C-alpha cells in the first residue's frame, strides 16, 4: 500500500470515527419487530448461451432439469442423449421485502453451479423461488445481465469480472404474500442492529421525550419495546412513522478492525492505549542453491554428477528503534504516535497485535 493510499485510509478512519458520535435516525439503528425481508431460493435453467453452457457429461443435473422442463412442455425425451452447450444450471436467489404484495416484482441474482464459462446473453426459464418453509413465494424469468466477459482461444483465455453470475432487475413476480398483520400488534419491539445498553437507554429517553410520557421501555441491550396504545396513534404504522426519524446519538464499543489481506486499519474514536514502548525490526534469511555439475574428462571412465552447493545468508534490517507511545487520549494522538515510528501498514498491524497482547490496547481487536 502506497503512502498516499495509507493517508487516505487514515483520513477515512478519522471521518468514520468523528461521525460515530453524530446523531443518527432511529430507522438506521434498529429493526422493527416483524418488518423484515425473507430470503428466497430456486433452481433453474439458463438457455440461449453461445456455446458457453454446461458440459452435460460434467454436470448431469443440467440434463435432468432440461428433460423435466421439456416433458412439462409435452416433449418426450426419455432415452434420448441430450448434448447441448447453450444451457446452464443455475441457482437463483432473491429477497422478498416486507409487505410485498402479490403481483409486485423483485430483483434476483443468478449464479451458475456447473462448468458453464459464461451466462452472457442467456435467458432464465421460469423458475419457482421457495422460502425457508418450502412454499413458493415468487417466480423468476428474464434475460440475465452477466457481470463480466470471457474470451478464449486455443492457447489463451481472458476473463474480466465474473461472467458466471449475473442478475435480472425486477426479474421475479411475487405470487404469495407473507402472512403478517402489523395493525394487530399492541406493542412493537425495536431490535438494535448493534446491541448496546447505552444506545438502548438513549432510544428509550428520546422516544419518551418526543411523546412527553412513558411510551418506550428498554428490555435489554438489544431491545426497546414501544406501547402503541400509549402513543395515541391510530395504528402501529402511524406510530412507527413518527418515531423512525427521531435522532439518536449511538454508543459503541471501542474497536480496531484490521484487514490483513488489504492492509487496512480502521480505529474507532474511543480507542485508547496505555503508555507503552515499541521497537520493530526485520530479519531476512536468504538461501541460494547453485548446483555444480562435475563430469569426467573426455574418453575417461566415470559419470557426470551434480554437486549441491548452498549459500545461506542472514540479514538484519535496520528496523525501528525503541519508541515510546504515551497513553493516547484521542484517536488522532494514537495515529500520530504510530506514524512517528515510520512503519508500513503491514508492520503496523503486527505492532497493534503486539500492543493488544501486552494489554496496552483498550479496545476490541478484530482481525479479518
Helix (H), strand (E) at residue 338: helix 331-339
312's grid cell: 545461506
pLDDT tens, the chain, 368 aa long: 444 444 444 444 444 444 445 788 998 999 888 788 899 999 999 998 888 888 766 667 777 777 777 777 777 766 666 667 788 889 999 999 988 899 999 999 999 988 888 888 899 999 999 998 999 999 999 999 987 666 666 656 666 677 888 999 999 999 998 888 888 888 899 999 888 899 999 999 999 999 999 999 999 999 999 999 999 888 888 999 999 999 998 887 788 888 877 777 787 777 877 777 766 665 555 666 677 777 777 777 777 777 777 676 656 555 555 555 565 555 566 666 667 666 677 777 777 787 788 777 788 888 87
Which CA distances in Å does 42 have to 93, 144, 364? 6, 15, 39
pLDDT of residue 206: 93
Residues 168, 185, single domain; the answer is no
What is the b/e burial string over 254-274, where b = at least 16 CB atoms within 10 angstroms of the residue's CB? Answer: eebbbeeeebbbbbbbbbbbe
Residues 239, 268, single domain; the answer is no
Which residue matches cell numbers 453452457? 53
Residues 185, 260, single domain; the answer is no
Q: Is residue 5 part of a domain?
A: no
Which residue matches cell numbers 443468478? 110
Cβ contacts of 64 within 8 Å, gap of 6 or more: none
179's grid cell: 402472512
Q: Is residue 97 part of a domain?
A: yes
Q: Phi first, then psi: what are they for 125, rounded to 5°? A: -80, 150
**Angle of helix 331-339 relative to helix 3-20, nearest 10 degrees?**
160
CA–CA separation, 233 and 239 (whole Å): 5
| 344-350 CB contacts, 8 Å cutoff, 24+ apart | 344/1, 344/6, 344/263, 345/1, 345/6, 345/9, 345/263, 345/264, 345/265, 346/1, 346/263, 347/280, 348/265, 349/258, 349/260, 349/263, 349/265, 350/280
CA–CA separation, 229 and 209 (whole Å): 16
Residues 56, 121, single domain; the answer is yes
Q: Is residue 271 part of a domain?
A: yes
SS3 25: strand
Q: Is residue 67 part of a domain?
A: yes
Residues 94, 134, single domain; the answer is yes
Segments forming the whole domain that contains residue 355: 255-296+303-367
CA–CA separation, 341 and 126 (whole Å): 61
Q: Is residue 6 part of a domain?
A: no
pLDDT of residue 11: 46
CA–CA separation, 145 and 168 (whole Å): 6
Residues 192, 275, single domain; the answer is no
CA 250 to chain centroid, in Å, comes to 23
CA–CA separation, 99 and 317 (whole Å): 63
pTM: 0.63
pLDDT of residue 114: 83
Residues 316, 231, single domain; the answer is no
Helix (H), strand (E) at residue 345: helix 345-357
Residues 67, 157, single domain; the answer is yes
Residues 123, 206, single domain; the answer is no
pLDDT of residue 181: 81
Write down which residue in 248, 272, 287 finishes a domain.
248
Write down which residue in 158, 174, 190 finishes a domain.
174
- Whether the CB-CB separation of 230 and 11 falls below 8 Å is answered with no
Write down which residue in 210, 230, 248 finishes a domain.
248
Residues 170, 53, single domain; the answer is yes
pLDDT of residue 82: 65
How many domains, in total, are found in the chain?
3
Amino acid at each position: 500500500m502506497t503512502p498516499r493510499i495509507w493517508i487516505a485510509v487514515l483520513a477515512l478512519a478519522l471521518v468514520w470515527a468523528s461521525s460515530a458520535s453524530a446523531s443518527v435516525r432511529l430507522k438506521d439503528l434498529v429493526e422493527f419487530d416483524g418488518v423484515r425481508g425473507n430470503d428466497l431460493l430456486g433452481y433453474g435453467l439458463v438457455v440461449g448461451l453461445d456455446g458457453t453452457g454446461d458440459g452435460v457429461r460434467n454436470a448431469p443435473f443440467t440434463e435432468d432439469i432440461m428433460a423435466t422442463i421439456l416433458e412439462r412442455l409435452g416433449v418426450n425425451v426419455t432415452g434420448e442423449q441430450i448434448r447441448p452447450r447453450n444451457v446452464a444450471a443455475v441457482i437463483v436467489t432473491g429477497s422478498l421485502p416486507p409487505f410485498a404484495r402479490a403481483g409486485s416484482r423483485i430483483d434476483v441474482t443468478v449464479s451458475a453451479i456447473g462448468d458453464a464459462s459464461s451466462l452472457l446473453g442467456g435467458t432464465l426459464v421460469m423458475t419457482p423461488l421457495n422460502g425457508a418453509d418450502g412454499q413458493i413465494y415468487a417466480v423468476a424469468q428474464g434475460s440475465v445481465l452477466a457481470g463480466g466477459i470471457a474470451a478464449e482461444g486455443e492457447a489463451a483465455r481472458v476473463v474480466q469480472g465474473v461472467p458466471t453470475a449475473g442478475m435480472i432487475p425486477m426479474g421475479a413476480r411475487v405470487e404469495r404474500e407473507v402472512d403478517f398483520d402489523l395493525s394487530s400488534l399492541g406493542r412493537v419491539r425495536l431490535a438494535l442492529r448493534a446491541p448496546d445498553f447505552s444506545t438502548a437507554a438513549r432510544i428509550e429517553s428520546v422516544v419518551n421525550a418526543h411523546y412527553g410520557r412513558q411510551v418506550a421501555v428498554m428490555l435489554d441491550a438489544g431491545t426497546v419495546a414501544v406501547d402503541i396504545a400509549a402513543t395515541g396513534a391510530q395504528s402501529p404504522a402511524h406510530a412507527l412513522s413518527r418515531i423512525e426519524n427521531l435522532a439518536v446519538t449511538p454508543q459503541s464499543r471501542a474497536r480496531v478492525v484490521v484487514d490483513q489481506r488489504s492492509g487496512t486499519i480502521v480505529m474507532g474514536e474511543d480507542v485508547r492505549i496505555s503508555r507503552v514502548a515499541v521497537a520493530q525490526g526485520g530479519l531476512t534469511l536468504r538461501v541460494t542453491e547453485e548446483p555444480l555439475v562435475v563430469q569426467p574428462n573426455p574418453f575417461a571412465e566415470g559419470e557426470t554428477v551434480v554437486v549441491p552447493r548452498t549459500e545461506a545468508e542472514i540479514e538484519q534490517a535496520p528496523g525501528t528503534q525503541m519508541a515510546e507511545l504515551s497513553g493516547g487520549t484521542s484517536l488522532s494522538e494514537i495515529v500520530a504516535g504510530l506514524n512517528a515510528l515510520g512503519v508500513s501498514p503491514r508492520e503496523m498491524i503486527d505492532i497493534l497485535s503486539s500492543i493488544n497482547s501486552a494489554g496496552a490496547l483498550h479496545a476490541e481487536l478484530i482481525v479479518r
